[in-house]
Amino acid sequence: MKKNRSSSIFSKKQLNAVQRKLDQLGDNVAFDAKFFLNMRFISSLVIFLVVLYVFEWGYFLAPVVTLLYYHLLYYLVIEYNINKRSEKLDLEGIQFFEMMTLALESGKNLENAIRIACDNVDNELSHEFKKVLDEVEYGKSFNEALEGLKKRIPSDTINNIILNITEANNFGNDIIDEMYAQIDYIRDREIQKTKAIISKIPLKVSIISVIFYVPLIMLLILSPIIIKFIGG
């Protein structure tokens, strides 16, 4: 039997670790861990050889450039996008969990409350919960489906809510107050992020002014002297 080449280069542990990260990127990822690791290895090798033979100091630059590329590619393709998706899901969670909590207050059970929220909220988080409902219809237990959801969600805040939902399903806990507390926490955190962005605007404007406007003003002030010097 022919042995899989990728398994001789990358361990099963490496493949599983990267695949877990890729799963947190959602449905937009068109490749798996094996493809990414092979692509990163081959492209890193090509960059190493190109730098080695093109540049005079290639023997010094090649390992440095290749190492930077190797780690930067992982960050840009995986970690950066995971962080962006986590922020997006947190923001979407406010609307989704508010709708779900209102359904719980009206007397619906957990599954029906999630179904109502999915039917009335159209965003990426809603689609993830729809997968949970689909998996339950296909034979998985509600807890198993929620556990699978946690693996696809990169947000610790939302995973904490999923844990509360799981415990409520197991023990019949009333989680309405906890849900509102989590929603308020997410909303307050988003407000703080917005305030932090706004507070940085004056600094950015100052930097732009120093780089562009101050030299322009100095040029306008000194232009008569420069013209006189050139003409004289």
Instruction: Please state the pTM of the whole predicted model.
Output: 0.80
At how many degrees (to 10) do helices 80-105 and 156-171 cross? 40
Tokens coding 202: 């004056």
**What residue ranges do the domains of the chain occupy?**
5-83, 87-190
Tell me the mean pLDDT per 10 residues along the chain, length 232.
52 93 91 94 96 89 95 96 96 95 94 96 96 95 95 95 93 90 92 83 71 70 71 60
Measuring CA to CA, how many Å separate 183 from each of 34, 97, 158? Answer: 38, 7, 10
Tell me the CATH number for domain 87-190: 1.20.81
Can you give the pLDDT at residue 200?
Answer: 75
